Amino acid sequence: MIRLLALDLDGTLIDDDLVISRRVRCAVAEAKERGVTVTLATGRMFDATLPFARALDITAPLVCYQGGLIQSLDSSTPFYRATMEPALVREVLEWQTERGWHIALYADYDVFIAQRRYPETFYRAMLGERLVWVDDLSLALEQHEPVKFIFVAEQPQADHIEREMQDHFGGRMEIVRSHAMFVEGNPLGVSKGDALARLADHLDVPQEQVMAIGDQGNDVSMISWAGVGVAMGDASPVLQAVADWSAPPLAEDGAAVAIERFVLTSQAVGELQENKPPCDKIFGHRSTQKNTDKKSKKNL
């Protein structure tokens, strides 16, 4: 029985159009009606996550900043918050300046950017509305606490940046891939998995009754930790390797299919009953695809 459901946003519920499909909204609504607590677990800042939470009528605390923030929608005080050491971030800024990499710095509740290499609509859609354009990012550290940073680059360069960052800063911060174009640096020990475990403990939900769905390397920790970990069909190979089950891709409403399979069906004597939930009657699509290449860590 699933009592807590954690959903990644980008690549799992939304594509570049930022629209949550009707079928996904239906599945989430039915899960909530059955008493399941639903949350979003994302790298986005709190303010940028709120519109999606409201669209799904989510009231549970949200996991933001890759697990660096847990906060309720009706509270101005975080349940949990982590920040980075300013000296370490300054070292990163010097490192990227020498290499000409493009970086966005999240500090307090804003995103600071020193160069504009993409249209402003790109930054607002992908990073959030609270953009602050500055001449020198290091000046932002004098008045604000750094939360995380993102290198933005086309995929081949992003691959190179990820390798260099792991080689030089691995063990001093968490370096994750959250998008084909994004390489993130987060406080050491911060992850979606850690945050989901904190939230489950706060809600008194045992690990085996937690389900998580994601698509990128930054989701590995929560997919590994959750009692039922689901990878989207177009997820990264590293995430597919740790997932219990592979859903169809985003374009085929994979998150809804996973919710229908593991939350909205009946379970009896340890086996899943393949009863079609109301969402199937409305939208007429169902998948029984399994990730047969992976030895599951649990007997589903």
pLDDT at residue 287 in the model: 33
pLDDT digit string (tens) for 125-147? 888 888 999 988 988 888 899 99
pLDDT at residue 180 in the model: 84
pLDDT digit string (tens) for 213-253? 999 999 999 999 999 999 999 999 999 999 999 999 999 99
Residue 87 scores a pLDDT above 90: yes
Q: Which regions of 121-243 does DSSP assign to beta strands (E)?
A: 131-133, 146-152, 174-179, 182-186, 210-214, 228-231
- Of the pLDDT bands very low, low, confident and very high (cuts 50, 70, 90), residue 68 is very high
Residue 295 scores a pLDDT above 60: no
pLDDT at residue 69 in the model: 95
Residue, of 300 and 121, whose pLDDT is higher: 121
- Quickly name the fold that domain 86-186 has: 3.30.1240
- Of the pLDDT bands very low, low, confident and very high (cuts 50, 70, 90), residue 289 is very low
Residue 10 scores a pLDDT above 80: yes
pLDDT at residue 197 in the model: 97
Which segments of the chain belong to CATH 3.30.1240.10?
86-186
Nearest Cα residue to 8 out of 42, 59, 47: 42
Side chain identity at residue 216, one-letter code: Q
Which segments of the chain belong to CATH 3.40.50.1000?
4-79+191-283
Residue 298 scores a pLDDT above 50: no
- Of the pLDDT bands very low, low, confident and very high (cuts 50, 70, 90), residue 148 is very high
Classify domain 4-79+191-283 at the CATH class level.
Answer: alpha beta
Taking CA 12 as the corner, what is the angle to CA 186 and CA 21, rounded to the nearest 5 degrees? 140
pLDDT digit string (tens) for 247-276? 999 999 999 999 999 999 844 223 433 443
Instruction: Specify the pTM.
Output: 0.82
Asked if 278 contacts 260 with a C-beta cutoff of 8 angstroms, the reply is: no
Asked if 12 contacts 255 with a C-beta cutoff of 8 angstroms, the reply is: yes
pLDDT digit string (tens) for 175-218? 988 888 999 999 999 999 999 999 999 999 999 999 999 999 99
Side chain identity at residue 139, one-letter code: L
Q: How many CB atoms sit inside 10 A of residue 51's CB?
A: 11
Averaged pLDDT of the chain: 87
- Percent of the chain residues past pLDDT 90, beyond the cut: 70
- Of the pLDDT bands very low, low, confident and very high (cuts 50, 70, 90), residue 299 is very low
Q: What is the dihedral of CA 212, 215, 218, 224, to 10 degrees?
A: 40
